[in-house]
Amino acid sequence: MRHQQGRARRALAALATALSWAGLLAGAAGCTADGSGPLGIGGPPGRPTAVEDAIRVTPDDGGKGVRPGERLRVKVPDGRLEKVTVTRSQDAQDTTVAGHIAGDGRTWKPDDDKLALAARYTVDAVAVDGDGRRSARHTTFTTYVPDQRFIGYVTPENRATVGTGMIVSLAFNRDITDRAAVERAVRVTAKPAVDIRAHWFGKNRLDFRPERYWKPGTEVTVDLALRDVEGAPGVYGLQRKTIAFTVGRSQVSLVDAAAHTMEVRRDGELLATVPITAGAPKTPTYNGKMVVMDMLEVTRMNSQTVGFGGEYDIPDVPHAMKLTDSGTFLHGNYWSPESPGEVNVSHGCVGLRDVKGGGADTPAGWFFDRSLVGDVIEVTHSKDKTVSPDNGLSGWNMAWKQWKAGSVLK
C-alpha cells in the first residue's frame, strides 16, 4: 500500500512539472537578465532564441559608428508587432523616438528617418505570432561621432529688443558647401506674419529679412535645426536651439553729409535735427542704409585696425555705435567740438558733439540713450560709394528681387 502511494505521488509531481512547463512555453512574456526563462529556453545566456530572432531590428544589435544614412527598422515576418519603444541618449539626455507601426502590424519605423549622430539607441520590441505567443527583443547600437562640427553665430541675441532695421544674420565657423541643407534647417518666422527670405553672402554667412523694415511690436523666432546637418563633406552641425527677439519702436535717422546734419525720426515723427561731422574729402563716409550692430559706452579707436596708418589712436571714444564690419561708427566727438554742423573731418565715421568721458546732455549722449541695436542710420550726399550689403547689416541696400535671388531654395 505504501509502495502504491509513493508511485502515485511521483506521478502527480511529474504531471505538475509538465503542466508548469507547458504554461511557460505557451504564454509567458517575461525574460530574465541572463537570457534564461520563458524566452531564453534552449539557447545560451545572452543570445536571442529562435523566438526572439523573429523580431528583426536594424541596425544590428551592438552596432557601432552607424552612419546617419542607415535606416532604423523593426520587423516581423508574420504575426504582428504589439509594442515598440525606442530611446535615444544624446548629450546626457534621453528622448523617446516617435514612430509608428504599419497598418499590417509587421513594421515599425521612426517618424524622422534620419539617425542622430553621437547617440546611443535602445530598442525594445514585443511581438505576437499567429498562435498568440509573445516574444520580445532588446537591442542597442551607437551612431557615428563626427570629427568636425560647425556652428552658426546668430545676430541678434536671444530675448533682445531691437530696432525695425534688424537683419537676422548667421555667421558660420566653417565654409558651407551644401547650402541648401543648411538653409532648410533654419526657419525664421514672425508674429504678425510677414514674408521673410534668406540670402547667402559667400560660403559662411546666411541673412534673413522681410521686404521692408519690421513693424514695431513684431515678435521674431529663429529656429535652428542644424544638429547633424552635413554642411560640408564630413562636417556636421552642432546646434538645435531657438532664438526669439522683439521689434521695438521705429527709429530711422537720416545723415546729410553735405549739410552736416542728422534728422532723427521716431515712428515717422521728427524728434530732432542734430549737427554732425562726417568723413573728410579724402576719407568720406559710405552712403546708404546702415544698421546699428553694437552699442558701446566707451571704446578705443585705432586707425591701424581699420586699414589706415597711424593717423589716430583715441583710447576713450564715448557713445560709440558700430555700423559696419569695416569700422564705420556713429560716435561722440570731444576732440574736435567745433566740427559738427560745420565741416567733415572724420576718417569715415559720423561724429556728434560730446565731452571727454561722455555727457548725458550732449547731442551724442542724447542720441545714444534713445537708440537700439537694429536702428537704421541712412547717409546721403557723401562723396563715396553706397555701402556693400554684406558690410555689417547693410542688406537693406539690396533690391528685394536681388535679395530673394540669394536663396538656394526655389
331 carries an active-site annotation: yes
> Mind spelling out the 3-state secondary structure of 130-177?
CCCCEEEEEEEEEECCCCEEECEEEECCCCCEECCCCCEEEEECCCCC
Q: What are phi and psi of 347, to 5 degrees?
A: -95, 30
What are the cell numbers at 286? 559710405
Catalytically annotated residue among 199, 260, 331, 347: 331
Catalytically annotated residue among 31, 260, 347, 349: 349
C-alpha–C-alpha distance, residues 194 and 311, integer Å: 46
Contacts of 200 (CB under 8 A, 6+ apart): 179, 183, 206, 406, 407, 408
**Cell 536663396 identifies what position?**
407
C-alpha–C-alpha distance, residues 403 and 113, integer Å: 33
- Bridge-based pairing of strands 152-155 and 186-191 is unpaired
C-alpha–C-alpha distance, residues 334 and 317, integer Å: 8
Torsion angle defined by CA atoms of residues 109, 115, 121 and 124, in that order, rounded to the nearest 10 degrees: 0
319 carries an active-site annotation: no
Contact assessment for residue 280 and residue 347, using Cβ atoms and an 8 Å cutoff: yes
Contact assessment for residue 166 and residue 246, using Cβ atoms and an 8 Å cutoff: no
Q: Tell me the catalytic residues.
A: 331, 349
